[in-house]
Structure 1
Amino acid sequence: MSRASLEAELAVLADASPAQLREQWLEVTRRPLPRVSPGLLRLALAWELQARSRGGLPRRVSQKLAQIASAKTSTREVQPGMRLVREWQGKVHVVTISEDGVIQWNDRAWKSLSEVARTITGTRWSGPAFFGLKAKTGRAA
């Protein structure tokens, strides 16, 4: 969808009646209608249209929002300068986060903590869980 086309669709939302908004929600999302005010539905529809046009939220943001919504775990973000230490099968592994945010382990840059954890263990591990950054919150969803 072109920028002009998106702007035209967003402009239509401003003058749409509540019935038109409900109809458009079902057409655009193919999901059940949320029980919200017409004003909030207008905002939600605008977000849906923009997300469809521009790709939505980055995967990392979606995961963080889902984690917050479930209230089951909490993950601390890695910060530049961090040193993460984990013993695995009698060997100590040290991962550092450089000032530019690059993950360093065994004199090599890695894409993610999970990639490092998988290499160390030989199995699929959550890197944040393996290095102690992910913890259960103790709250039920």
Structure 2
Amino acid sequence: MSRQRDKLDADLAALATMSPAQLRERWAEVSRKPLPRLSPAMLRLALAYELQAKVLGGLSRAVQQRLDQAATAKSHTRSASPGMRLVREWQGKVHIVTIGEDGEVEWNGQTWRSLSEVARAITGTRWSGPAFFGLKQRKGKAA
């Protein structure tokens, strides 16, 4: 990893001295995506991100989903915080879910990997856990 890290540091430093044409060429090599219409300064930042993501890893799935959601601006999802209790009535029965200190989901005396697993267990169908428990709401509604 040390060699990769040293090469990354060198690649990042080289971006500062590249001409716009060199930046466009480097973008094609690194990203294999269409060239964005950006100023050279912004293209340097985008290239720096792409280089770092290749070596250090990109965004987590959860972060990518939140960014995608923010971009579409159709809904907003609040995070489930440790200690939070979520209550949902379903078919006449009240269900209480507690979020543990490590983010684990506790319901019915068991630990679950996600709110969606609990929602599926309760309803018997695939649900977005955050939507089922009221953490995900359409824009314009009170959160």
Three-state SS of the structure 2 residue aligned to 1:81 is coil
Three-state SS of the structure 1 residue aligned to 2:46 is helix
Identity %: 68
Q: TM-score, normalised by structure 1?
A: 0.91
Q: Determine the structure 1 residue equivalent to 2:60.
A: 58
Three-state SS of the structure 2 residue aligned to 1:109 is strand
Q: Determine the structure 2 residue equivalent to 1:43.
A: 45
Is residue 99 of structure 2 the alignment partner of residue 97 of structure 1?
A: yes
Shift of 1:99: 3.8
Shift of 1:50: 0.4
Q: Determine the structure 1 residue equivalent to 2:9.
A: 7
Shift of 1:109: 1.4
Three-state SS of the structure 2 residue aligned to 1:101 is coil
Find the aligned partners of 1:101 and 1:55 in 2 and give their Cα distance: 22
Q: Determine the structure 2 residue equivalent to 1:80.
A: 82
Q: Determine the structure 2 residue equivalent to 1:30.
A: 32
Find the aligned partners of 2:28 and 2:102 in 1 and give their Cα distance: 44
Shift of 1:100: 4.0
Give the ranges of 4+ consecutive aligned residues of structure 1 lying more than 6 Å apart after TM superposition. Answer: none
| Aligned-residue RMSD, C-alpha | 1.6
Query: Which stretch of structure 1 is more off in the superposition, 95-104 or 118-127?
Result: 95-104
Q: Deviations over 1:23-55 (max 9, x none)?
A: 111221122211111111111101001001111
Q: Deviations over 1:82-136 (max 9, x none)?
A: 2111112222111012344321101111111011111111211100000111111
Structure 1: runs of 5+ lacking an equivalent:
none
Query: Which stretch of structure 1 is more off in the superposition, 22-31 or 63-72?
Result: 22-31
Structure 2: runs of 5+ lacking an equivalent:
none
